[in-house]
Structure 1
Amino acid sequence: MTTAKDLFIIAMDPQPERSVGQGDLSLALAGAELIDLIDAEAVALDGDSIVPGQQSALDDRLLDEAAAVLAQQAPYEQVEDWLWRRGRDLAAAYQAALEADGQLARGRSGRSLFGAERLEVVDSPARRQALSRWKAEEPVLAALAAAVGIMSGAEEEPNLDENEAATTVLAVVNDAVMELEAVRQRRSIEKAAFANVWRGP
């Protein structure tokens, strides 16, 4: 399992205080993919630019797909641009992949991240691995979850001082999520103003 899949499983937790937006989760999933690609040495960071590394199979379809769509020649893509491009509808892609792998099932007590259908995580080695990383407060997973509003209960923020590349990616993920929230708020204000115009005095 990848960090992105572990994050998606954690996001499916039905607890009401863990409501996660599809756009926020998609951005965080793109960040998780990039961190896994860096760990696998498939890419590296040169400042904020993503430069290609070793070309090898990564034993995960979505991660292989992510690696395949990265720029292989200069000018290389910036982390922020990657998050917005790769993150488009990425949460839905992970939902479909996990359903196809039998990791998600439709049920009454599950969570509905997108659409009306409720889904729940099947008890499996993949779920247990994700929960194990979560309970161990694994720093990267905890930081990605926090970026989308899922708190681990840890009293201290995850320590990523020794992983400069992951720290860079996580900072950009946080900025992108905040930017998305600002866009939402602006649209909400504009919609309310438009409704008031039609409602009249």
Structure 2
Amino acid sequence: MTTSRDLLIVTMDGEPSRLVERGDLSLGLAGAELIDLLGAQEAGLHGERVVPGLAGMPDDPLLRQAASSLVREEPYESVGDWLWRRGRGLSAAYLSALEADGQLVRQRNRRWKVFWTRELVLVDTEARRHAANRYRSDEPVLAALTEAIGVREPGGEPPKVSDDAVERVLAALEDALAELAAERQRRDRRRGEAAVDNVRRGY
């Protein structure tokens, strides 16, 4: 299992009241991938730039795809740019991968007495138990990632990550999430202003 798969599983296993925005999850998954690539020496950091490593390709298909997508020419790519580029639509890709692996199934639910919907639910697998154990044990990297995207309630001392490169990835992730939240606020404000204007015009 990879950190990104563990992150998706614990997010789906979280409290229904703590819904995670799809964009936040995608950025978190991209950050988790980069952390795993750093740990496997598939990538390294030179300052704030992501440089390709020399190790062999990972076994996990999505992590292998991530390694293949690393920019391999100078000046390389900043961690923030990696998060935005790699994170685009990444949550959907991981959902599809877990479903293909049999870790997610589509469950029929009756709503409104008329319409039927299908939603993905986790299967009780070894991968799910592994992710849950890692989360419950407060493993620092997964704890920091889940706190960043809103799965885990912040409280007390922040998770202590000893690796400087991982800390830089987490810091860049926090910046990207803050930027995304600010963009959502701007969009909401523009929609609110447009609604007020329409009322004034009689629409």
Amino acid at match of 1:5: R
**Which residue identity does 1:129 align to in structure 2?**
H
SS at match of 1:105: strand
Tell me which amino acid in the other structure corresponds to 1:63.
Answer: L
Q: Distance in 2 between matches of 1:177 and 1:187?
A: 15
Which residue is 1:2 aligned to?
Answer: 2
Structure 1 residues not aligned, in runs of 5+: 110-115
User: What residue in structure 1 maps to residue 102 of structure 2?
Assistant: 102
Counterpart of 1:131, as a letter, is A
The percentage of counterpart residues that share the same residue type is 50
Aligned ranges 1:39-188 → 2 under 5 Å = 39-107=39-107, 117-151=118-152, 155-160=156-161, 162-188=162-188
Deviations 1:81-123 (A, max 9, x none): 00000000000000000000001112258xxxxxx64221111
| Structure 1 runs (4+) greater than 6 angstroms displaced | none
Aligned residues of 1:137 and 1:154 also touching (Cα < 8 A): no
Aligned to 2:114: none
Larger mean Cα displacement after TM superposition, 146-155 or 48-57: 146-155
Q: In structure 2, what is the Cα distance between the partners aligned to 1:136 and 1:130?
A: 10
Give 1:38's aligned amino acid. Answer: L
Q: What is the root-mean-square deviation in Å for CA atoms of aligned residues? A: 1.6
Partner in structure 1 of residue 113 of structure 2:
none
TM-score scaled by structure 2?
0.91
Cα offset, 1:153, TM superposition: 7.3
Displacement of 1:64 after TM fit? Answer: 0.4
Q: Highest Rg: 1 or 2?
A: 2
Q: Is the 8 A contact 1:66 1:86 kept in 2?
A: yes
Distance 1:65 1:53, change over 3 A: same
Q: Check conservation: 2:27, 2:173, Cα contact below 8 A.
A: yes
Corresponding residue SS for 1:16: coil
| Residue correspondences, number | 194
Structure 1: distance between partners of 2:158 and 2:91: 25
SS of equivalent to 1:17 = coil
| CA spacing shift, 1:127–1:166, aligned 2, 3 Å | same
* Aligned partner letter, 2:128: R
Shift of residue 54 of structure 1?
1.4
Report the CA distance shift for 1:130/1:4 in structure 2 as closer, same or farther (over 3 A): same
Q: 1:57, 1:97 → 2: CA distance? A: 18
- Tell me, in whole angstroms, the C-alpha distance in 1 between the residues paired with 2:31 and 2:154: 22
Q: Helix, strand or coil for the counterpart of 1:72?
A: coil
